[in-house]
Chain A
């Protein structure tokens, strides 16, 4: 079974631009969660989507948004990029997510975003 894939793996943008990151979950998984990881702030939860609906959201500004498609693939978008948005963005998939059945979650390799 193929794992979680994320594209692109690396990205360089400049301040003020916007970026869209993609995540394809493991086949059959309906939940996709997004996380931001930085050396200073550690791992932070962005949002979770389940069956095309946002089920949970972290404490990030509205510049961070996401969506999930009917095939469970998910995208996250960051508008008006700031230098502080430079980070590793991780997505993780699970069958039912962290609300509900007690089952495991698999992370993708991440997208490393550098904002100049």
Chain B
């Protein structure tokens, strides 16, 4: 099993819909979880981080963490065409390594 897994996509959602991006991980002791957005040809940008079980909301973004099930998700409400990008899940493992998932490509259709 890979350390961090994401559906590669592309995930297509209509404008205004909720986009749901999922990430599963293998190290049960992982403590810190991050979501990055990367536009084509650009550098990544950190959009969310979450440390505790439950939901964390920031504007249209909600990160959800379930350590027992070893998954973290990112919900984007009222999706806009400008949200079209690759979303990378990352975490810091129990042995203090930073691991990135392969990314999910999101396309928001006007």
Q: Which B residues lie within 8 Å of A56 (CB)?
A: 96-98
Q: Which A residues lie within 8 Å of B34 (CB)?
A: 98
Query: At the interface, is chain B mostly helix, strand, loop or mixed?
Result: strand
Q: Which A residues lie within 8 Å of B17 (CB)?
A: none
B51 and A102 form a contact (CB under 8 A): yes
B65 contacts the other chain (CB 8 A): no
Task: Report the bound CA distance from A15 to B96 in whole Å.
Answer: 32
Q: Which A residues lie within 8 Å of B98 (CB)?
A: 33, 45, 48, 56, 58, 98
A108 contacts the other chain (CB 8 A): yes
Q: Which B residues lie within 8 Å of A58 (CB)?
A: 97-98
A42 and B102 form a contact (CB under 8 A): yes
B32 and A98 form a contact (CB under 8 A): yes
B43 and A105 form a contact (CB under 8 A): no
A98 and B43 form a contact (CB under 8 A): no
B103 and A59 form a contact (CB under 8 A): no
A42 and B43 form a contact (CB under 8 A): no
Q: A42-B100, A44-B100 are in contact. Are A98 and B92 (CB under 8 A)?
A: yes
A43 and B44 form a contact (CB under 8 A): yes
B100 and A45 form a contact (CB under 8 A): yes
- Which residues from 44 to 62 on chain A have a C-beta closer than 8 Å to any C-beta of chain B? 44-45, 48, 56, 58-59
Task: Report the bound CA distance from A104 to B98 in whole Å.
Answer: 15
A59 and B97 form a contact (CB under 8 A): yes
22 contacts between A and B (CB under 8 A): A33-B98, A42-B88, A42-B101, A42-B103, A43-B36, A43-B88, A43-B103, A44-B100, A45-B99, A56-B96, A56-B98, A59-B97, A90-B43, A90-B44, A98-B32, A98-B92, A99-B92, A102-B51, A104-B46, A105-B46, A106-B46, A109-B43
**A→B interface (CB under 8 Å):** 33, 42-45, 48, 56, 58-59, 90, 98-99, 102, 104-110
Seed contacts A98-B92, A106-B46; 14 additional CB < 8 Å A-B pairs = A43-B36, A43-B90, A43-B103, A45-B97, A58-B98, A90-B44, A99-B92, A102-B49, A107-B43, A107-B44, A107-B45, A108-B43, A109-B43, A110-B43
